[in-house]
């Protein structure tokens, strides 16, 4: 049987395949990595409407493999360089419940203690795009810790398939405990302002943003980007006191379809929340190195995210 975490990943891959952004060969390879079994991968893909022979091609011609994400942001995208003089950024290690954890810490070079945000990556691992996002937060006056969810397997690599395998080897509840360790690390730092912790994440990381928000009273504000709330709806999202800005893409029907349940849970919690749907934008629209990037939606979402964290973490 597949858990919610595995189901989410397979559904995401199936969408990419249906949208001709992934070849069948790559779909099968990733499904086997997630399920650990060829028969289980095959049956799961059939259930998702991706049945057929291994030689079947997508509905229109495509490459043998999905092109890797661009190493640089798209033209016009917001970008903060590693050597930006206003930012201090570095790879770090910190303690976790099952050993050392890895991450990328970015913070303002000047000023006193600042509100801090945990940034959770997509299913590709801790890549340069996410490190750039952490630096963007630092440039805006926040401390940002981009966590490496592959830490238990040694950390993210340049091999994105390997990263997916490492992420899938850890149970969701163990990932949540590792995320709580990131909050604990920030709480102990003199440059992070007490009582001003937030969390954000994208796709896979958006789901874990919901999970951490449900699990930890330390989270004061959260901004999940197009992540599934399937687990969090059963683990305490309806009790959170965090202020939550939920970001959806209007064309991302699978994830945006959870909106009624998410709104019901946050209403039951008595939480301050807002749901923002960016019409015309699809899943992963914020990632300026990917094929689904939507510059207008990404820029608007970024400004709304900053305003949300400023209102609920720094006001």
Delineate the domains of the chain, giving CATH numbers in brackets: 1-66 (no CATH), 87-314 (3.40.50.1820)
Q: How far apart are CA 178 and CA 183, in angstroms?
A: 9
Can you give the pLDDT at residue 66? 37
User: Any idea what the Cα angle at residue 34 is, between residues 33 and 36, rounded to 5°?
Assistant: 65
Alpha carbon distances (Å) from 250 to 27, 232, 256, 262 = 24, 22, 7, 16
The two structure tokens encoding residue 46: 């059939």
Can you give the pLDDT at residue 56? 42
Can you give the pLDDT at residue 70? 58
The two structure tokens encoding residue 7: 């189901």
Can you give the pLDDT at residue 212? 99
Do 125 and 163 meet the contact criterion of CB atoms below 8 Å apart?
yes
Classify burial at 303, counting beta carbons within 10 Å of its beta carbon; exposed 0-12, middle 13-18, buried 19 or more: exposed
Report the Cα–Cα distance between both ends of the chain, in Å, rounded.
Answer: 46
Q: pLDDT digits over 1-19, tens only? A: 787 778 878 888 887 787 7
The two structure tokens encoding residue 110: 């000047």
Can you give the pLDDT at residue 139? 98
User: Any idea what the Cα angle at residue 299 is, between residues 297 and 300, rounded to 5°?
Assistant: 65
Q: pLDDT digits over 224-265, tens only? A: 999 999 999 999 999 999 999 999 999 999 999 999 999 999
Strands (E), the chain: 87-96, 99-108, 114-120, 143-147, 192-202, 219-225, 243-249, 273-278
Q: How many angstroms from the chain centroid is the CA of residue 143?
A: 18
Q: How far apart are CA 210 and CA 288, in angstroms?
A: 23
| Alpha carbons within 13 A on the beta-carbon side of 285 | 25
Token pair 């006193």 in the structure block, residue: 112
Low pLDDT (below 50) residues in the chain: 53-67
């Amino acid at each position: 049987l597949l858990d919610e975490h595995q189901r989410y990943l397979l559904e995401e891959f199936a969408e990419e395949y249906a949208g001709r952004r992934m070849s069948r060969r790559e779909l099968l390879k990733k499904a086997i990595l997630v399920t650990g079994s060829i028969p289980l991968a095959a049956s799961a893909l059939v259930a998702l409407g991706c049945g057929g022979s291994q030689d079947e091609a997508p509905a229109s011609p495509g490459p043998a493999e999905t092109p890797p994400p661009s190493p640089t942001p798209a033209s016009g995208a917001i970008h903060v360089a590693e050597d930006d003089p206003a930012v201090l950024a570095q790879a770090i290690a910190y303690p976790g419940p099952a050993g050392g954890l890895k991450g990328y810490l970015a913070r303002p070079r000047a000023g006193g203690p600042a509100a801090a945000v945990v940034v959770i990556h997509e299913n590709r691992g801790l890549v340069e795009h996410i490190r750039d996002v952490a630096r963007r937060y630092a440039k805006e006056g926040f401390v940002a810790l981009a966590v490496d969810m592959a830490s238990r397997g040694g950390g993210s690599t340049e091999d994105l398939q390997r990263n997916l395998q490492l992420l899938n080897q850890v149970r969701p509840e163990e990932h949540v405990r590792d995320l709580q360790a990131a909050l604990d690390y920030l709480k102990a730092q003199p440059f992070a302002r007490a009582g001003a912790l937030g969390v954000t994440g994208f796709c896979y990381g958006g789901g874990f943003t919901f999970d951490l928000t449900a699990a930890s009273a330390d989270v004061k504000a959260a901004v999940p980007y197009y992540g599934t709330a399937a687990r969090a709806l059963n683990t305490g999202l309806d009790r959170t006191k965090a202020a939550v800005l939920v970001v959806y893409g209007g064309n991302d029907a699978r994830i945006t379809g959870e909106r009624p349940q998410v709104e019901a849970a946050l209403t039951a919690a008595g939480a301050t929340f807002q749901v923002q749907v960016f019409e015309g934008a699809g899943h992963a629209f914020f990632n300026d190195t990917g094929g689904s990037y939507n510059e207008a939606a990404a820029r608007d979402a970024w400004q709304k995210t900053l305003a949300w964290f400023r209102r609920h973490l720094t006001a």
